């Protein structure tokens, strides 16, 4: 429990600092995004981390996720409205690989005195690659099922009219 708290707090603070260092204002949305990034990162490592390892992992994952959301996503030009991949995907990958580091006794992890990162990093990289492939295949299957059942886009007319009126027959706002 303490690892989850420390990772999420570190993630929030790291995201806010990254925003500030990037020349932007620190925002509540940024803080919440950092909390989520820290939580996602510590999830695979929670049982293999001490508090200090959780702080480092939450902060590192949050800063890398911020960099992806703020810089890589616009350059790649893909639509990730809620930054689902930018936060959950990137921080999850960092957290999964980070298990090899958080297990270190010097970071408060439960590893034995003869534990080495090199011995575990290959396992973590392989497991992360398998998880990425698994998620990609599952997402592709879900994508094609959704496409077959409902379609992926509304008509251009409905898009112009607005989804509230076109899809639901009512206005969400009266202004």
In this predicted structure, the answer to whether residue 65 has a pLDDT above a threshold of 90 is yes
pLDDT in tens, 122-134: 999 999 999 999 9
8 A C-beta contact, residue 38 and residue 91:
yes
Percent of the chain scoring above 90 in pLDDT: 66
Confidence bin at 175 (pLDDT 50/70/90): low
> Taking the model in full, what pTM does it have?
0.84
Long-range Cβ contact pairs of 28-34 (< 8 A, separation 24 or more): 30/66, 33/62, 33/65, 33/66, 33/69, 33/83, 33/87, 34/62, 34/66
Is residue 172 pLDDT above 80, yes or no?
no
How far does the chain reach from its first CA to its final CA, in angstroms? 46
What's the confidence (pLDDT) of residue 22?
A: 96
């Amino acid at each position: 429990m303490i690892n989850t708290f420390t990772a999420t707090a570190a993630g929030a603070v790291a995201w806010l600092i990254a925003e500030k260092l990037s020349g932007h204002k620190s925002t509540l949305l940024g803080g919440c995004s950092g909390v989520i990034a820290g939580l996602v990162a510590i999830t695979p490592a929670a049982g293999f981390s001490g508090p200090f390892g959780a702080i480092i992992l939450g902060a590192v994952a949050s800063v890398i996720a911020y960099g992806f959301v703020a810089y890589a996503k616009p350059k790649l030009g893909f639509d990730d409205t809620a930054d689902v991949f930018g936060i959950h995907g990137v921080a999850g990958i960092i957290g999964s690989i980070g298990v090899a580091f958080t297990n270190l006794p010097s970071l408060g992890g439960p590893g034995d005195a003869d534990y080495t990162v090199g011995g575990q990093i290959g396992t973590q990289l392989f497991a992360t690659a398998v998880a990425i492939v698994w998620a990609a295949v599952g997402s592709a299957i879900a994508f094609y099922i959704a496409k077959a059942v409902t379609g992926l886009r509304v008509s251009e007319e409905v898009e112009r009219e607005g989804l509230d009126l076109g899809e639901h027959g009512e206005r969400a706002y009266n202004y």
